[in-house]
Amino acid sequence: MTLRGGIDLGGTKIQAVMVDEAGEVLGSARHPTPTAGGPPDVAAAIVAAAREAAEQAGTETAALAGVGVGSPGDVDSRAGTVTSARNLPGWTATFPLAEVLGEELGTSVALGNDVDVATVAEMELGAGRTYSSLLGVFWGTGVGGGVVIDRKLWRGRASAGEIGHMVVKVGGARCPCGRRGCMEAYAGRGAMEARARKKVRNGASDELFRIMEKRGRPRLTSGVFARALERHDPLATDLIDRAIEALGAGIASAVNLLDVEAVIIGGGLGTRLGQSYADRIAQSMLPHLFSDSRPPAVLVAELGDLGGAIGAALLVKSRARRRRALAAT
């Protein structure tokens, strides 16, 4: 049996998995993303994570059918390059990631956009497998999105699915993208943290930051938010309520345009907070839905934390599929 490798390259962690033909995870490894250096350092960390996951699955990387990588930034999957990956250290220029990894790992390497591969994973193997159209919403540091129509990912001219930058308030809060009133300016964990710091400076409860320090975290992670919500911290509650209101307006607007059957909520916050918060997002969509008598299903991503890496593995065409493709030509 030939395995496929999948890598989810994130701003804080590198998740590697080894999956079989059915998408079952047989080995996995998680390494922190280097915070200094440049693309070669990130590539070295990817290689280490891939080797560890392969070893756990009882194989080596050179024996794999290939390795797929879901990456942030501008991904050119044909050229095998990644340009200006904002959350990765020193990654502004174009770097030949597929070639560098391929030489080290001894197998072919395919690249894809991180959010796209996570959306496809949910469609093929996760919460979206019974639907023909869906919207993936990845609620984390930012808010990413993927659009599936007739079981196919819609990429537009390469940048479709940027649901985080749907405008939910004209002239509203400043977004990390530099524009105003985007959904991400209210719902992205990064924007929420910036607002939390400002609120605490102005005298709000600092419970969120006390939990963060106790856990030895440098940021307000999804786990920190979840804990503060359990404790009914008023600041965390207010930030999350505001995020849910923005998500409801932005997602409902996208649904008014596309009329998808399902909305899959993933990302760090989405998976950590779970179905009860997905239900709250569904509620907050209702006032904005044009066809409010038949709202789409709103579900938490089933593949959770591993979805991005599993989706990246799907970039590697299976031997059977490759044979079929060859036979068809």
What single letter denotes the amino acid at residue 215? Answer: R
**Window 26 to 65, contacts with Zn ion (CB under 5 A):** none
Taking residues 194 to 233 in sequence order and writing x for each that binds Zn ion by CB under 5 A, - otherwise, the string is ----------------------------------------
Question: Segment near Zn ion (CB under 5 A), from 58-66, 170-178, 304-312, 316-324?
Answer: 170-178
| Of 27-35, 179-187, 210-218, 280-288: span binding Zn ion (CB under 5 A) | 179-187
Q: Which stretch binds Zn ion (CB under 5 A): 95-103, 157-165, 246-254, 261-269?
A: 157-165
| Virtual torsion, Cα 167, 173, 177, 182, nearest 10 deg | -20
- Of the candidate residues 4, 165, 189, 227, the single one contacting Zn ion (CB under 5 A): 165
Cα 188 to Cα 141: distance, rounded to the nearest angstrom:
5
State whether residue 139 is helix, strand or coil: strand
Per CB under 5 A, which region of 31-39, 171-179, 208-216, 297-305 contacts Zn ion?
A: 171-179
If the CB atoms of residues 186 and 277 are measured against Zn ion, the closer one turns out to be 186
Query: What gap in Å lies between CA 11 and CA 33, rounded to an integer?
Result: 6
Q: Is 219 exposed, middle or buried (0-12, 13-18, 19+ CB in 10 A)?
A: exposed
Amino acid (one-letter) located at 324? R
| Site size toward Zn ion, by CB under 5 A | 5
For Zn ion, the binding residue among 175, 285, 306, 312 (CB under 5 A) is: 175
Helix/strand/coil percentages in the chain, nearest 5? 45, 20, 35
Stretch that binds Zn ion, among 55-63, 78-86, 93-101, 176-184 (CB under 5 A): 176-184
- If you write DSSP's letter for every residue of 213-276 in order, what string do you get? HHTT-SS--HHHHHHHHHTT-HHHHHHHHHHHHHHHHHHHHHHHHH--SEEEEEHHHHHHH-HH
Looking at the Cβ atoms of 34 and 142, the one nearer to Zn ion is 142
Contact residue for Zn ion among 149, 160, 177, 258 (CB under 5 A): 177
Q: What is the DSSP letter of 91?
A: -
d(C-alpha 300, C-alpha 324), whole Å? 34
If binding is defined by CB under 5 A, does position 247 make contact with Zn ion? no
Residues of this chain that bind Zn ion (CB under 5 A): 165, 175, 177, 179, 182
